[in-house]
Amino acid sequence: MPQSTSIQVADLLQKARAGDESARERLFAACRNYVEILARAEMASWLKAKVDASDLVQQSLLDAHRGLDRFRGSTEAEWLGWLRRIVTNNAADYVRQYHAVEKRRAGREVPLADSASETPHWQLAADAPTPSQILLQKERQLQIADAIVRLPPDYQEVVVLRDLQQLSFEEVAERMGRSRPAVQMLWARAIQKLQKELTGPESNHASG
């Protein structure tokens, strides 16, 4: 249940701050899939081919471990929002670092974004939430992330691209090297499987 998950996260936070290393480990283990899905969503654009999302996951978790004493919230929503900001900030750093490397390598300006402001592709639409915000708006953030990770790889990819990146089916088809009808069918099956994961007996294991 979302309510019991929130209570558990709050309890683990309190204990971790009090120096309970076991609680700290359980807290971060419960949120690892959430951070992974956020990272994959942030990097599902052009950067995916250049930087492994696992690097972003590891760096973000390390930063969260190091900065736990500076976290001032107490609820699950505050904690997950803090993790999201860490992932988003680190993703932006990766973009800037890659941009600098490519400029030196090519000896010229490299168009990495769709505007002169160098804003990452997924932040261009002012009225569209970032991939992280989409996941954060859900009532069962941790359970959803855990359920996505349990999907087959191609199901995971289509959900990340379509539902978190909010790409059109045409764009998803291009990214995945498939036809639009094939991608639409794959997505429908992935969503059906995801719903079963969220309502099945395994859906409560995420933060245990």
- What's the rounded Cα separation, in Å, for the pair 19 and 17? 5
pLDDT by residue, tens only, the chain of 208 residues: 455 565 688 899 999 999 999 999 999 999 999 999 999 888 765 555 455 688 899 999 999 999 999 998 888 889 999 999 999 999 888 878 766 665 555 554 433 333 333 333 333 233 445 555 555 555 678 888 999 999 999 999 999 888 888 889 999 999 899 999 999 999 999 988 988 888 776 554 444 4
Gap between the Cα atoms of 94 and 55, Å rounded: 10
In the chain, the domains with their CATH numbers are 2-204 (1.10.1740.10)
Phi, psi (degrees; rounded to nearest 5) at 180 = -60, -45
Look at residue 94 in the predicted model and tell me its pLDDT.
82
CA angle (168 as vertex; 88, 135 as ends), nearest 5:
35
Q: Look up the pTM and report it.
A: 0.74
Reading the block at residue 178, the tokens are: 């498939």
Confirm if 158 and 172 have CB atoms less than 8 A apart: yes
Rounded to an integer, what distance in angstroms lies between the CA atom of residue 160 and that of residue 175? 12
Among the listed residues 154, 149, 145, 194, the one whose alpha carbon sits nearest the alpha carbon of residue 173: 154
CB 187 within 8 A of CB 67: no
Position of tokens 């087959």? 152
Distance CA 95, CA 123 (A): 13
DSSP for the chain reads -HHHHHHHHHHHHHHHHTT-HHHHHHHHHHHHHHHHHHHHHHTSSGGGGTS-HHHHHHHHHHHHHHHGGG----SHHHHHHHHHHHHHHHHHHHHHHHHHHHHHHHTS----SSSTT---GGG--TTS--HHHHHHHSTTHHHHHHHHHTS-HHHHHHHIIIIIS---HHHHHHHHTS-HHHHHHHHHHHHHHHHHHHHSGGGG-TT-
The whole-number pLDDT of residue 123 equals 32
* pLDDT given at position 27: 95
The pLDDT, as a whole number, for residue 151 is: 94
